[in-house]
Amino acid sequence: MLPRLDEIETDLLDRRARAEQEGWLGEIEGLDLTLTFLRQKREESQRLARIAPINLGMPGLRPAGS
């Protein structure tokens, strides 16, 4: 997931640079908002990747009539 987020960020930055050149202020604002969300998602993904999964084990079946 993280490499894909990097690709998306690169694309968004390219689009933002184009929007700046063209003077598309509304587009810049929207791209900035999207970049903010993307960076939050990346931070969350990196944080979750550092947390080791917890093994809850397999649930057992109760004998019939219990």
Asked if the structure places residue 66 within a domain, the reply is: no
Asked if the structure places residue 61 within a domain, the reply is: no
Range of the domain at 7: 2-50
Report d(CA 52, CA 19) in Å as an integer. 41
Asked if the structure places residue 58 within a domain, the reply is: no
- Residue 31 exposed, middle or buried by CB count within 10 Å (0-12, 13-18, 19+): buried
The tokens for 5 are: 């987020």
Asked if the structure places residue 30 within a domain, the reply is: yes
pLDDT at position 28, please?
Answer: 97
Profile the chain (66 residues) by mean pLDDT over runs of 10 residues. 93 98 97 98 91 81 74
pLDDT at position 36, please?
Answer: 98
Question: Smallest Cα–Cα separation from 35: which of 14, 55, 20?
Answer: 14
Asked if the structure places residue 16 within a domain, the reply is: yes
The tokens for 59 are: 């649930």
The answer to whether 14 and 28 are in contact (CB under 8 A) is no
Asked if the structure places residue 60 within a domain, the reply is: no
pLDDT at position 66, please?
Answer: 60
Q: Count how many domains the chain has.
A: 1
